[in-house]
Structure 1
Amino acid sequence: MPLLASLRRSLLAAASMFAPIAATAQTTPPDARVLRVVPHADLRTLDPMAVSVTITRMHGLMIYETLFAWDSQLNPRPQMVQDVTTSPDGLVWRFTLREGLKFHDGQPVTSRDVVASLRRWMARDVVGSHLGARVASLETDGDRGIVMRLSRPHAFVTYALGSAVGALPVIMREADAQAEPGVPITTTIGSGPFRFNRDQWLSGQRVVYDRNPDYVPRSEPADGLAGGRVVKVDRVEWRIMPDAATAAAAIQTGEIDIWEQPALDLVPAITRRRDVVVDRLNGISTQAMLRPNTIFPPFNDPRARLALAYATDQADAMAGGWGDERWWRRCDAYFVCGTSMASEAGAEGYARPNLERARSLLQEAGYRGERIVFITSNDIAPIGRMAEVVAANLRAVGMNIDLQVNDWGTVVTRQPRRDPPDQGGWNLFVTFASGATMLHPLTNIGANMSCDGRNWAGWPCDEEAERLRATLLDAPEGAERQRAAEALQRRLAEVQPYRVLGQVDQPYARRANVMGMLNSPVMLFWNVEKTTR
């Protein structure tokens, strides 16, 4: 009997713990307190440490937090951290968590959760693995203290811990973070300003988040991802609308409040309305790319990868994807034209297509017309259109292109597969990544050519490029860093971890009564409100 009574008390306690979540999920807020958004893609993967796709990062930032966060200028600021101290030699870092941090299930966030989460992130992410390679030990110091000891100094510790790119260094519950690093988790219990409403989630149609009433924001003003994450609506609903014309009609009638990535050919129509505003989310251009799989022929040979650069025309690809040239520009800089480490050194030869040179390089690499599996999707229209243009460019130099069109969720889940192309794997895909991701050698997921096989899908390996990247990351600001950036750019232009296809300034659209959008690498929904007009 005592055992039964104890079990009954445990069950009652658990029920009371989850009661607030259930109550929130079943309550329908008034229309003025609901923000309805058309995102660029459907949410398929719930684990923001598992994949580097933008929609999963957006989801992760809704429900989780990180120790630090980038402000609008991409400077790291404390987020979950209250205090941070560093030893004079830069080898010992001590962090103290803010008081009152709680997970959505009511459990307090502790140093054990942080240590487990960071270890999982360091095992999965390109930024995390770079930092992790210098971490000699990571330990708890009481319930709120964390001590990180480095084997040698790292110039970007807080920048990495606040990363908003790649796989995010979010803080999960210890039990979730201890799951197998290679298997995405499906739990959605964070400590962030929103709660994931699983009852309302309908794949392919909607994703719903409710305001976390227990969340205590920082006192500083919101600035990018940093500062006070003050939620001013009760619910955020993502409405999945793959058809651009449907989304355009919805923003004009007020059925939706925000369209994250409006089709550029429809922008003139929606901007004619006084109650719709079209604007840029941030000031750093997005980079488009063609990513080859370097595990299998022909792109295990850098000459075949270089052939991609000579065969493709950036103007064709970008015009196909985004139309009017006012939205895009040519750029062969791996670290994004217009930013501090940008250089186009080494790319002079393929600034314009050279089909004969492309054919010659393919022949030298031993390519003899084997089938090339090129995966893509029309769910994100610019990606699908760019893929069609690039496929035509590659066929023109004799490549046997099998363009396989699937839904975006299938493409995303297929990218990490290392199977041979004829067994569910792939040779090529087109995608794009935010400028905030690609402007820095630490966060540029495509330029990581580490040979441990833990880098981004495509898995290019080049020890010289990695030596130059390490030199750049350790270089002091100023002329020395610029020289190191140019040297790395030249090597990347030679070995081609991916073909840069250009840069685009993707706008977003909102109803005029939506206020408070933040300048950020990804779209955020705290600080946003719907005014009555």
Structure 2
Amino acid sequence: MKQKRLGLLFFILMLVFALVACSSNDDTTSNEGSNNDTETDDSTDTDDGEEEEATSDGEFAGGTLRIALDAQPPNLDWPTTPATSARDGARLVFETLVTTDEEYKAVPMLAENIDISEDGKTYTFKLREGVKFHNGKEMTSEDVVASMERWLEKSTITGTIFIDATWTATDDYTVVLELQEPSSLTLDTMASAKMGAAIMPKEIIDGAGDEFITDEYIGTGPYVFTEWRQDQYIHFTRYEDYQPVEEEPSGLSGKRIAHFDEIFYYVVPDSSTRLAGLQTGEYDLAYGLPYDVYDQVQNDPNIEAFLTPSSNAFLHFNKSGDIASNQSFRQAVNTALDVDEIMYAAHPNDDLFWVDCGYMDINIKNWASSAGCDENFNLKDPEKAKEYLEEAGYNGEEFKIMLTRDYANYYTAGIVIQEQLKNVGINAVVDVVDWPTFNDKMQSKLDEWDALVIGSSTVSTPPQLLYLSPTFGGGLEDEKVAEMMKALETSASIEEGQQIWDELQEYAVTEVVPVVNLGGVNSLFGLSNKLEGITAFTGLVLWNAKFTE
């Protein structure tokens, strides 16, 4: 399988937002409802080529998949974090009422069918019966209601669609959602892979209270969370009682088969170590390979380069700070930047990126827009930038850009941005921190940074864009944006919503400038040529994949 590029399939980094570091009093966290007898040395001795054995449905399974992860997730509490490192592991364990097919259409998953009232305010979900959580308990409507209420409380992607919405269980296998206003985006939002609406046992939710779930990761998915050794690995095992749907796989929907006996996500921050481990066979799959080894990976007969659209890269302004709160200053930065130079410096091959002003990923056909971009993007006009600085009353104050080397392309982009801003008289300085510190400062230490360079993982609808919300890192408090976003969320049709979105993006790009979008980024993964069936859709999809030998 030699896949060099996936078009519509997706994402995320990203981005990466509102992350809270996972912590524990012990070095190891484990799920009481799963097999936790495996120690590190013994568990990694499984031979990938071991004899396969048939599962109950006639499929074959076997082997241990070893993955080198570029950053440790903050946790696996999917509704609470947009981190892509958390998302990919969490969705092995958790499933949702609805999910997304390859055309980004919301389709049932744990729901068997969905009935929508004529006024668009009432959604009735008939649940699949007999679906069991990893602790052996059958999933019922009380678990779904508790899970969906927690998702509405914890997730930041829900926007205004679900304000004052209610979830009610009418019997053990029927759940009703009542909205205050209809929205054509309801199911798309519920199906999002970002901060997903994970269904978990009610007692787990009750036990967590207002806190993050840090050890009892119990879902209905094809793999069971088994063990987490901080800064070492996260271990999953096949769920022998998993009950897949029978539809053909499409995007994140359809039949899911857990072919691997075990999956280990090893935390390997150093990119050269990830690549070396892939080349020697220590790892079967490696995340976040540096872009400068792209040609090397392509030319290695034992491994394969795998590209998938993952995020939009951007410079995000702290609009609650002293400097970046000034709209004229933000315009100055936007006007000064040479985006082509920035993106080429960070991504040394045309396969790895595309330059684009639009806030929505160009692969999300319903929502990709160029509104406002022609006269306000990639201007590289130093003299005009200086005029904006004078208008802003800028007097040489430090403009602090926060970066992390844990994502080398965004770090490089930030260094180029710093130099370009210095050339127009902005006293740009960089604060380079590790990834956990980056996440912490991004949300809770707003007085320590003015801007940051990062990527936002691909989302399926505009209201999921965190940098247009007031809640994300020095967030956007703009009455007109809020009004238009609400109008979009309550639009009666996709066509009506598209018109509103064009107007909203044009206003944001030309008058607000909450971010300077740089373009889209493909993530570079490395795969062993002994793997087949790996796909990507808003991140890697590991179910239905297996070893060829």
TM-score normalised according to structure 2 size: 0.84
* Structure 2 letter corresponding to 1:70: T
1:106 aligns with 2:136: yes
**Aligned counterpart, 1:6:** none
Report which stretch shifted further, 373-382 or 389-398: 389-398
Q: Contact (CA 8 Å) 1:285, 1:336: kept in 2 or not? A: no
Counterpart of 2:221 (choices 171, 175, 192) is 192
Residue 110 of structure 2 is aligned to residue 80 of structure 1: yes
What does residue 383 of structure 1 align with? 410
Q: 1:329 is matched with which residue?
A: 354
CA distance in 1, matches of 2:189, 2:393: 40
Q: Report which structure shows greater RCO (CA 8 Å, sep ≥6).
A: 2
In structure 2, the gaps of 5 or more residues are: 1-30, 49-62
Q: For 2:505, what is the secondary structure of its paired residue? A: helix
Query: CA offsets per residue over residues 476-518 of structure 1, 9 Å max, x none?
Result: 6676555433212211102112110122233322111201112
Summarize the alignment of residues 370-409 of structure 1 with structure 2, pairs less than 5 Å apart.
Answer: 370-409=397-436
Within-5 A mapping of 1:86-485: 86-133=116-163, 135=165, 137-165=166-194, 167-178=195-206, 183-187=211-215, 188-198=217-227, 201-281=228-308, 284=309, 286-337=311-362, 339-347=365-373, 348-417=375-444, 419-421=445-447, 425-435=448-458, 437=459, 440-448=461-469, 453=470, 455-475=471-491, 480-485=496-501
User: Compared with structure 1, are the counterparts of its residues 477 and 86 closer, same or farther at alpha carbon in structure 2 (3 Å cutoff)?
Assistant: closer
Q: 1:151 to 1:512 in 2, by over 3 A?
A: same
1:229 counterpart letter in structure 2: R
**Structure 1: runs of 5+ lacking an equivalent:** 1-16
Q: Measure, in 2, the Cα distance between the counterparts of 1:181 and 1:296.
A: 33
CA contact (8 A) 1:117 1:169 kept: yes
Query: Which sits farther off after the overlay, 40-49 or 362-371?
Result: 362-371
Residues 1:59 and 2:73 are matched in the alignment: no
**Residues 387-434 of structure 1: per-residue CA shift (max 9 Å, x gap):** 2122222333333334222221221233221x442xxx4322111123
- Contact persistence 2:123–2:178 (CA under 8 A): yes
Instruction: Give the Cα–Cα distance (whole angstroms) in 2 for the partners of residues 478 and 163 of structure 1.
Output: 17
Cα-to-partner distance string for 1:169-189 (whole Å, 9 max, x where unaligned): 112332443477864221322
Conserved 8 A contact 1:298-1:365 = no
Distance in 2 of aligned mates of 1:497 and 1:194: 39
CA distance in 2, matches of 1:163, 1:531: 32
Shift of 1:520: 0.7
Q: Quick one: distance in 2 between partners of 1:60 and 1:130?
A: 25
Question: After the TM superposition, which of the residue ranges 104-113 and 222-231 deviates more from structure 2?
Answer: 104-113
Shift of the 292–177 alpha-carbon distance from structure 1 to 2, 3 Å rule, reads farther
Question: 2-side partners of 1:342 and 1:65: how far apart?
Answer: 27
- Say whether 1:505 aligns with 2:522: yes
User: What is the alpha-carbon distance in structure 1 between the residues aligned to residue 512 and residue 208 of structure 2?
Assistant: 33
Closer, same or farther: CA 84–340 of 1 in aligned 2, 3 Å: closer
Going from structure 1 to structure 2, the CA distance change for 1:372 and 1:110 (only over 3 Å counts) comes to: farther
CA separation of 1:20 and 1:262: change in aligned 2, threshold 3 A: closer
Of 364-373 and 100-109, the range deviating more from structure 2: 364-373
In structure 2, give the amino acid aligned to 1:531.
Answer: T
Q: Which amino acid aligns with 2:358?
A: A
Question: How far did 1:205 drift?
Answer: 2.8
After TM superposition, the structure 1 stretch with the greater mean CA deviation from structure 2, 101-110 or 263-272, is 101-110
Question: Aligned equivalents of 2:274 and 2:456: distance in 1?
Answer: 23
C-alpha deviation, 1:126, in angstroms: 3.3
> How much identity, in percent, do the aligned residues show?
26
Shift of residue 270 of structure 1? 1.9
Cα distance in 1 for partners of 2:70, 2:149 equals 31
Equivalent-residue separation in structure 2 for 1:25 and 1:223 (angstroms): 36
- TM-score, normalised by the number of residues in structure 1: 0.86
In structure 1, what is the Cα distance between the partners aligned to 2:413 and 2:261?
38
Q: Identify the structure with the greater helix proportion.
A: 1
Aligned length: 499
Shift of 1:305: 2.4
User: Taking structure 1 as reference, are residues 376 and 351 closer, same or farther at Cα in structure 2, changes over 3 Å only?
Assistant: closer
Maintained 8 Å contact 2:159/2:464? no
Structure 1 residue 351 displacement after superposition: 2.5
Going from structure 1 to structure 2, the CA distance change for 1:256 and 1:112 (only over 3 Å counts) comes to same
Q: Give the Å deviation of 1:266.
A: 0.7
Letter in 1 for 2:119: D
**SS of the residue 2:65 aligns to:** strand
- Given residue 164 of structure 1, which amino acid in structure 2 is its aligned partner? A
Partner of 1:3: none
Task: Report the RMSD for the aligned CA atoms in angstroms.
Answer: 2.5
Amino acid aligned to 1:375: M
* Distance in structure 1 (CA, Å) of the matches to 2:75 and 2:380: 37
SS at the partner of 2:160? helix
8 A contact 1:91–1:150 mirrored in 2 = yes
Counterparts of 1:218 and 1:156 in 2: how far apart (Å)? 25
Report the CA distance between 1:530 and its aligned residue: 0.8
8 Å Cα contact 1:122/1:131 also seen in 2: no
Check whether the contact 1:113–1:174 (CA below 8 A) recurs between aligned residues: yes
1:21 aligns with 2:35: yes
